[in-house]
Amino acid sequence: MVGEISLSAATRTNLLALQRTTQAIEITQKRLSTGLRVNSAIDDSVAFFSASSLTHRAADLQVLKDDIDQAVSSAETAVNALEAIDDLVEQMKGLALSAKSDSSSTNRSKSAVQFNDLKAQLDNLANDATYSGTNLIKGSPGNLKVTFSEDGSSTLTISGIASDASGLSIAVAVSNWAADANVDAAINDLDSALSTLRSTASTFGSSASLISLRLDFVDTLISQLEAGAAKLTNADLNEESANLLTLQTRQQLGTIGLSIAQSSEQSVLRLFI
């Protein structure tokens, strides 16, 4: 039966030192390959869980950021549509003013037909101003609620405002504008509609600007959270590369030291042969 193999104190010391150096090399190589000095809670539980908390919040905010970005587009879609409607109303007013200055009933009738056609296009434009299922200006407008914080405590709601012909109180050309009173009534309605449109566009524009500011803030906050997590877990690659070189040198010296210790033991044994 083979007896237990005993190592000399010198050999055991050199062997243990070599094993520790090899383990340190493996850890350093892992850090270099992953770019992380904390890969799990075993490496550093405090840093690992703190970084995880920051990373999870950044992920939650990223979801909100996407929704906020879509909200900006919804608000801008409404503003762009209102500007287009404003142009249509200006054209309609131009037709009314032209009819007012023209005594020909035939020409007035033609202007009235064009006016009604533009009114129909105004309604179509308002109905088409939908983004991602939300329309803030059609006849029965929706509302847009934007959430800025993970717990839902910070929100903004944009209330839709009907900006179609009915919402703007723009009626068809009465009696083909045969009488000046009918034309004057249309012009008054159009002036009122333009004032309403510009007020609504200003309101939506302000909301879009605010949402854009919050979007920029959330984007910056996400970057800060990710940077904070990186500070807790990322490895300094330059430092780790230098450590690896030092450890490899130490490993080589340890191997040489172990070889010398074993050679010394063999020399002693030869004295008894």
CATH of residue 170? 1.20.1330.10
Per-residue pLDDT of the chain (273 residues; tens, 9 = 90+): 455 555 566 667 767 777 787 777 777 777 777 777 788 888 888 989 999 999 999 999 999 999 999 999 999 999 999 999 999 999 999 999 999 999 999 999 999 999 999 999 999 999 999 999 999 999 999 999 999 998 889 999 999 999 999 999 999 999 999 999 999 999 999 999 999 999 999 999 999 999 999 999 999 999 999 999 988 887 767 776 777 777 778 777 767 766 776 565 555 545 455
Residues 171 and 218 in one domain: yes
Residues 121 and 149 in one domain: yes
Residues 114 and 179 in one domain: yes
Q: What local confidence, expressed as pLDDT, does residue 8 receive?
A: 62
Q: What local confidence, expressed as pLDDT, does residue 22 receive?
A: 78
Residues 76 and 190 in one domain: yes
Instruction: Return d(Cα 159, Cα 155) in angstroms, integer.
Output: 13
Annotate the chain with three-state secondary structure.
CCCCCCCCHHHHHHHHHHHHHHHHHHHHHHHHHHCECCCCCCCCHHHHHHHHHHHHHHHHHHHHHHHHHHHHHHHHHHHHHHHHHHHHHHHHHHHHHHHHCCCCHHHHHHHHHHHHHHHHHHHHHHHHCCECCECCCCCCCCCEEEECCCCCCCEEEECCCCCCCCCCCCCCCHHHHCCHHHHHHHHHHHHHHHHHHHHHHHHHHHHHHHHHHHHHHHHHHHHHHHHHHHHHHECCHHHHHHHHHHHHHHHHHHHHHHHHHHHHHHHHHHCCC
Facing residues of 155 across strands?
A: 147
Q: What local confidence, expressed as pLDDT, does residue 200 receive?
A: 97
Q: What local confidence, expressed as pLDDT, does residue 42 receive?
A: 82
Determine contact, residues 175/116, Cβ cutoff 8 Å: no
The pTM assigned to this predicted structure is: 0.74
Asked whether residue 260 is assigned to any structural domain, the reply reads yes
Asked whether residue 217 is assigned to any structural domain, the reply reads yes
Q: What local confidence, expressed as pLDDT, does residue 267 receive?
A: 54
Give, in degrees to the nearest 5, the angle at Cα 36 between 30 and 39: 80
The domain in which residue 149 lies consists of: 64-232
Instruction: Return d(Cα 204, Cα 134) in angstroms, integer.
Output: 14
Which residue type is seen at 145? K
Asked whether residue 180 is assigned to any structural domain, the reply reads yes
Q: What local confidence, expressed as pLDDT, does residue 273 receive?
A: 53
Asked whether residue 228 is assigned to any structural domain, the reply reads yes
Q: What local confidence, expressed as pLDDT, does residue 252 receive?
A: 78
